[in-house]
Structure 1
Amino acid sequence: MAKKGDYENWRVVDFFCGAGGFSEGFHQAGFDVIRAYDIWEPAIVTHNKNHPNKSSEVAKYGDVYNISILPDEEFEKWVPDSEVIIGSPPCVAFSNSNKSGKGDKALGIKLLESYLRIVARKKFKKDSKLKYWILENVSNVQSYIKDSYTMEELELEYLGDYVLDVKNEMANVYNTKYYGVPSNRKRYICGEFCRPVETNDDNTVKTLRDAMVPLGNMTGEDFEEVYDPNFNFKLEKNLVSDLFYVKEIAKFEWNKAKRQKQDKGYMGKMSFPENLDRPARTVMATMSSSSRESMIFPYKKGRYRYPTIREVATIMSFPIDYRFYGDSDSIKYKLVGNAVPPKFSYALAKAILIHEGKPVNEIYIKKTFPEKDSDFCDLNYKVFELKVEKEKKYKTKFKYHVPYLIIRSYRTELLNEFVHEKVVWKAEIHKSQGNSARIYTFNNLNLDFMDKKDSLFIDRYVKKIIIEIGSFNQLQRNYCMPIDSKIEGGLKGPEEILGNIRELIDERFHGYNGEIYDKNEDVFIPEKICISYYILKQIIGGIEHE
């Protein structure tokens, strides 16, 4: 076991450094991070505060594209010699969370190639010191990175016939949960590096519970120290930031998240709230409370909360003395969510040192901060107001199915559209997704298969709803109203209608488990789907079309 200072440390330069997660792992392994670049001020400040340097600040403002095309003399000043270069270009354009991975790739590719241009200039220059370089990004990025790049492709013709090999045998998607990170976070790694050694298998991966329980309760009561489950040290609780507070999620938000997670239609179910006995889901850069990707924890009976910044930082394997500099929880959350998990970075750094026969630092290097730090905003004991639902804009779109009623991939959907500035409501039967997706609109569907009493009941119910709704316009206005306002006024919007139909299916029509054949479409439709579609179709056909 080696202590920091027992040997001459190798140097690292970090591009797109963010809050410093990539740097932190190399720092803890025994490397010296001598320079880092980003263009976001909170990231630069956070990196510098957690990695102070007596002579000058390590992290600086720097546009990587502009750096990559600097003249040689200026370039060498901006990019000092180092044995290792690391970089994690912005992943928004390549991420699955960005419109299912359909974001604009042009800027993302430009930044990737800018980073590779910097690597090539340092690697192929005379008397180069560079031995290893790593590129980290979301899994999708591998489709946009070539196996290798000529100097001409990187606009470096003057360097000659060199070729930068990017995808070697180690290039792969790595799941950080196998490297001590309590998160199921998959990332693509390529470059010239050594394969990191897994520290956990499926039986020993760290769970969300492993990360959260050592942090204690949100009040900070009944304990004086907080244990770090990632780096195995204790810290006085007054030195642990961004942990002791509760930010509750409003019911209208978590209700939406619950449906997105468990009733998305064509997508699989997700845990709601989070399953503490599995590694955490991927921490996103945006602190959402009403999406499928939202991370939601139980608070009190029937109530839910956001994770604290310290909790998500611990999930991402940041040490508990690491500070995030931003004047709001959303900025701090973005700093955490965009980072490379330090434990995974440590595994990459350790593999390099072992391969080079150098000792690896295994004693945690604690952080030190000024006693008074005016730049730091600690969220401990902050009171957050519960979010109040606002009225939606009139032209807000709606598209959803009868809740929790999906049979053989069939579902009944209600949706709106605007034609010549006027709202139009439609009912459709949907099946499956992607290339196999089908949409059906049956104009002559009847309920001959139903018991007479049941069909009469439906007719009475439809007439009642038509009277309550009145018109397409009123249904749209009801949809735009906050839930509390609808309850107070006894009004029904599209969600309430769909919910009522589901209740009818459960309470009165639960015995209809057969199928109806439609010869025109040559399909068999489940009876419950036919019933729900018929009800919606009759309501839509009966209310006033304006």
Structure 2
Amino acid sequence: MTDNFTCIDLFCGAGGLTEGFRKAGFTSTFAVDCDEQAVETFRYNHPDTVCLHRDVRSLSGKEILHAANLTPGDVDVLCGGPPCQGYSLAGLRITNDPKNSLFLDFVRLTKELQPRVVLFENVEGIKSMQGGNVVSAIEREFEQIGYYCEARVLNAADYGVPQHRPRFILLAVPQDGAIISFPQATHAPFNQQQQLHLFEKIPLPYVTAWEALSDLPMIVAGEGAEELIHSGKYYFSYQRDRQGNRFPGKIFNHRATKHSERIQTRYAQIPEGGDNRLLPDELRTKKRNVWKIDRLKPSRTVTCNHRTDIIHPILPRGTTVREAARLQSFDDDYRFFGNLTRKAKWLTQDDQVGNAVPPLLANALAIQIKHILTEKIKVNSVAASSDKCLVPPLFS
């Protein structure tokens, strides 16, 4: 029996999914993304993985197997989160509308690669799209190629991520394959720990935003650099766990936006845990989605606009890429490349962090999938032994 499982990451972005699987002991053999800067970030942090800057629509399963040095049947996990900007349906079937092309190619590559497990992740809102028919259509597409599906919405905070980030997770296995199961939550709100798990192991309390951020250099608006020295003082276990191994004592991507004095005044008057709707009339703007971090709770979902939408709990400025990465559960030695402004053609560092699957959530899924694969191997082994016992003895 082997536990050297392989994974392939389509739509890999900066590599949050791959990072979680790597830490669970998987061998990441191949990844692909259409964004140049995201691929640069991925390649830097995962130098042993073949990562192509390509559109998945131009890839075949045969090309992927060749690039990954695999043969048919070697892929244990195929994962990815194709964008879903409004799927087009005909009844309960996904149509050939261009809006669906990336998902349909994900299904096509599943059919060509025949992985033992498929992990499809997306925004929570996909569940309610077109009255739930989108999810039914997605499941139908996988069933058409011989895969059985189950789906859940998982909150990253339940797995030690200092951020409320609900994600739609669909797992699929061949219809004659393993039994699907989802990871048990390891964390819970402090006042619900006992009630939620009376007969199970009591989970840890949620990791708060301040447990994630309080050790980072306290830079003001306009300060910071792509590389800084850490003080060496860690106040919480979550911070110590995020040090990484490659560059001890260093902090990357910690640059704060240079806000005007008026904007800083506005940010300063937003109460912790509140948003800009609570500002005095003279400081309000049309924008309604600026929220200040509450130090005693997990952050809200980190978005691609965190630099202006998620405000530091003490300093009157938006969060830096490193602070957002901490809230996403990336280690400090995980570096992001690219511009900080949207003038660039490719994804910004903010986009890469905001779009990523939190590595700790990915890790929980990877550990559970490893369990699914291991149990399937055991079942196959027992079945093979039973078949041998059924062969009648030969008599001379």
TM-score normalised by the chain length of structure 1: 0.50
CA RMSD of aligned residues (A): 3.6
- Which residue in the other structure is 2:241 paired with? 232
- Which residue in the other structure is 1:34 paired with? 29
SS of equivalent residue, structure 2 residue 136: coil
SS of equivalent residue, structure 2 residue 101: helix
- Which residue in the other structure is 1:410 paired with? none
SS of equivalent residue, structure 2 residue 214: helix
Distance 1:208 1:274 in 2: 7
Find 1:86's aligned residue among 79, 82, 86. Answer: 79
Distance 1:58 1:222 in 2: 32
- Residue by residue over 1:192-217, the C-alpha shift from the partner in whole angstroms, topping out at 9 and shown as x without a partner, is 25301211011111111111113353
Alignment of 1:403-414 (within 5 A): none
SS of equivalent residue, structure 2 residue 112: helix
Find 2:111's aligned residue among 120, 128, 134. Answer: 120
Distance 1:122 1:112 in 2: 15
The answer to whether residue 191 in structure 2 is matched with residue 194 in structure 1 is no
- Residue by residue over 1:437-483, the C-alpha shift from the partner in whole angstroms, topping out at 9 and shown as x without a partner, is xxxxxxxxxxxxxxxxxxxxxxxxxxxxxxxxxxxxxxxxxxxxxxx
CA contact (8 A) 1:182 1:315 kept: yes
Distance 2:161 2:230 in 1: 28
Alignment of 1:428-443 (within 5 A): none
Find 2:293's aligned residue among 274, 278, 282. Answer: 274
Distance 2:276 2:374 in 1: 48
Alignment of 1:145-224 (within 5 A): 145-146=135-136, 162-165=144-147, 167-168=149-150, 171-192=151-172, 194-203=181-190, 204-218=205-219, 223-224=231-232
Residue 112 of structure 1 and its aligned partner are, at CA, apart by 1.6
Distance 1:224 1:318 in 2: 18
Distance 1:230 1:90 in 2: 32
Distance 2:45 2:3 in 1: 22
- Which residue in the other structure is 1:242 paired with? 253
* Structure number with higher relative contact order (C-alpha < 8 Å, ≥ 6 residues apart): 2
Query: Partner amino acid for 1:232?
Result: D
Residue 232 of structure 1 and its aligned partner are, at CA, apart by 1.7
Identity of aligned residues (%): 26
Residue 64 of structure 1 and its aligned partner are, at CA, apart by 1.6
Query: Partner amino acid for 2:238?
Result: P
Find 2:305's aligned residue among 269, 273, 286. Answer: 286
Distance 1:246 1:64 in 2: 35
Change in CA separation of 1:320 and 1:279 when aligned onto 2, cut-off 3 Å: same
TM-score normalised by the chain length of structure 2: 0.68
Find 1:305's aligned residue among 317, 320, 323. Answer: 317
Distance 2:239 2:99 in 1: 32
SS of equivalent residue, structure 1 residue 229: helix
Query: Partner amino acid for 1:196?
Result: P
Give the structure with the higher percent helix: 2
Change in CA separation of 1:228 and 1:65 when aligned onto 2, cut-off 3 Å: farther
Query: Partner amino acid for 2:215?
Result: P
Distance 2:181 2:45 in 1: 26
SS of equivalent residue, structure 1 residue 249: coil
Query: Partner amino acid for 2:23?
Result: Q
Find 1:111's aligned residue among 102, 115, 124. Answer: 102
Alignment length (residue pairs): 310
Alignment of 1:349-368 (within 5 A): 349-357=366-374
- Residue by residue over 1:279-327, the C-alpha shift from the partner in whole angstroms, topping out at 9 and shown as x without a partner, is 11111123452xxxx1012555xxx112111110010000111111114
Query: Partner amino acid for 1:349?
Result: A
Query: Partner amino acid for 1:120?
Result: K
Distance 2:53 2:229 in 1: 41
CA contact (8 A) 2:215 2:239 kept: no
- Residue by residue over 1:411-437, the C-alpha shift from the partner in whole angstroms, topping out at 9 and shown as x without a partner, is xxxxxxxxxxxxxxxxxxxxxxxxxxx
SS of equivalent residue, structure 1 residue 214: coil
Query: Partner amino acid for 1:77?
Result: H
Distance 1:329 1:166 in 2: 42
SS of equivalent residue, structure 1 residue 114: helix
Distance 2:22 2:359 in 1: 9
Residue 328 of structure 1 and its aligned partner are, at CA, apart by 3.1
CA contact (8 A) 2:14 2:38 kept: yes
- The runs of 5 or more residues in structure 2 that have no matched partner are 88-95, 173-179, 191-204, 343-347, 376-396
Residue 184 of structure 1 and its aligned partner are, at CA, apart by 0.6
Alignment of 1:22-61 (within 5 A): 22-53=17-48, 58-61=50-53
- Which residue in the other structure is 2:388 paired with? none
Change in CA separation of 1:117 and 1:272 when aligned onto 2, cut-off 3 Å: closer
SS of equivalent residue, structure 1 residue 311: helix
Alignment of 1:60-99 (within 5 A): 60-67=52-59, 70=60, 73-74=62-63, 76-77=65-66, 80=70, 81-91=74-84, 93=85
Q: Which moved more, 1:34-43 or 1:207-216?
A: 207-216
Distance 2:368 2:110 in 1: 20
SS of equivalent residue, structure 1 residue 328: coil
CA contact (8 A) 2:157 2:207 kept: yes
Q: Which moved more, 1:23-32 or 1:112-121?
A: 112-121
